Amino acid sequence: MTPTSYFPHKNNQMFVEDIAVSDIAKQVQTPFYCYSHRAITTSFDDYRMAFSDQDALICYAVKANSNQAVLTTLAKLGSGADVVSMGEIKRAILAGIPANKIVYSGVAKTEEEINYALSLGIFQFNVESEPELGLISKVATELNKTAAIAFRINPNVCAQTHEKISTGKAENKFGVPISKARLAYQQAALLPGIKVQGVDVHIGSQLTSLAPFEEAYQHIAQLVEELRADGHDINVIDVGGGLGVTYADEIIPSKLTYAQMVNAQLGHLNCKIIIEPGRSLLANAGILVSSVVFVKSGEEREFLIIDAGMNDLIRPSMYDAYHQIIAVDTSTANADSKTLKTYDIVGPVCETGDTFAKARQVHEAKTGDLMAIMSSGAYGSVMSSTYNTRMLAPEVMVKGCDFSLVRIRPSYEDVIKQDITPDWL
């Protein structure tokens, strides 16, 4: 799936499914996120088909996009959920994802969160440290429940991705070092309220090659054999998420190729396989639609100032991430390259880092023109903030020729009234 697969231009107008993006913009003020229901569904089905000959459960990584409409779409397709907080558990349950399809990851689960997850009866805790295991054991014992656990293993493998989204190296905070894994499992087996059932690994995000996955899964396969020899009943392997997407021109292995590799590395162990995809389900199912506020000529550069900012989509400022930016309406333009111009495309926020693209060629634009920031369906709205007291961008989901607002833009009053001015001021 490319950034434009589900957002093609027809007669010089960008469409999402059967609606022109500009028609949505007549009813929803920019900036707004726009998701294609069909893109999400197709992506999920691709995973389901790819893993159809394995005993696999797809647990969508809720952090990638936790909108209730997105979660409900995936719940109806049979998805489980990979969650990292009580908030995400609540979102998943509310959307209809059953507790027994929820795996709970994250490095710092609190007592309250563990209590909540246990009382619901989630499928598995992915435990990230011995102290966390101790807390889960304590809470489970108090509740007279048993927590099914896997340790998240840190295999010390380089994911060959951006360092800020690399999670499987020894220097990263995630998981239990593979060298200490057998000891950790030995301790877990002795703890009350704990049932050891699996092994978990997630080495990072936006992986564009299968090699790091393969390396990690080889370590995991060997560990499972050792753990079984130690007497542990390991019957679940959670292989994490991480499969990348095309933002620019990256060539990504297909979901089927990935699934075949998982089977080749782990199939002989006859475990239930959990996969936790996030980005590869959602990124290219969404765009951020923005309007040009001003075109400004600097001394050295031409700036296209748009009404979306780093508070709406932080990926370019945080990871220097590349997102294609495309004019929604190209009707005044033709294929002649003279109609293309080079701009720095920036937002309105008072930070130099509020830059979506430098020296980017796009169709010549003027105030009011709509621009689409592509591949924004994952780690877009979920990472947004109200910095500069800018309201969170609304979200829209399109299905066929219908669209619905799936998150409203809060009013300034609603946001400001959350602050409390003490009466002693």
Ligand X SMILES: N[C@@H](CCCC[NH3+])C(=O)O
According to DSSP, the β-strands at 272-275 and 286-297 are: unpaired
73 binds ligand X (CB under 6 A): no
Q: Which among ligand PLP, ligand X, none contacts residue 132 (Cβ within 5 to 8 A by kind)?
A: none
From 37, 109, 255, 315, residue interacting with ligand X (rule: CB under 6 A):
315
What are the CA-CA distances from residue 192 to residues 112, 124, 182, 228 (Å)? Answer: 19, 16, 18, 20
**Could you tell me the smallest distance in angstroms from the CB atom of residue 242 to ligand X?**
8
**Could you tell me the smallest distance in angstroms from the CB atom of residue 258 to ligand PLP?**
11
Give the residue with the Cβ less far from ligand X, 65 or 115. 65
From 30, 154, 280, 384, residue interacting with ligand PLP (rule: CB under 6 A):
280
Task: Check residue 387 and report its DSSP letter.
Answer: G
Give the Cα-Cα-Cα angle 255, 260, 262 (nearest 5 degrees).
95
From 77, 99, 120, 165, residue interacting with ligand X (rule: CB under 6 A):
165
Give the residue with the Cβ less far from ligand PLP, 276 or 329. 276
Taking each continuous run of H as one helix and of E as one strand, the counts in the chain are 12, 21
Q: Which string of x and - marks every residue 49-78 that binds ligand PLP (by CB under 6 A)?
A: ------------x--x--------------
Helix (H) or strand (E) holding 318: helix 315-319
Closest residue by Cα to residue 324 from 372, 279, 289, 365: 372
109 binds ligand PLP (CB under 6 A): no
Could you give the CA distance from residue 198 to residue 59 in angstroms, rounded to a whole number? 15
246 binds ligand PLP (CB under 6 A): no
Q: Which among ligand PLP, ligand X, none contacts residue 315 (Cβ within 5 to 8 A by kind)?
A: ligand X
Sorted by sequence, the CB contacts under 8 Å of residue 244 that are 6+ apart come out as 161, 205, 206, 207, 208, 250, 252, 279, 280
Task: Enumerate binding residues for ligand X (CB under 6 A).
Answer: 63, 165, 205-206, 315, 319, 379
Task: Enumerate binding residues for ligand PLP (CB under 6 A).
Answer: 61, 64, 82, 105, 202, 205, 240-242, 276-280
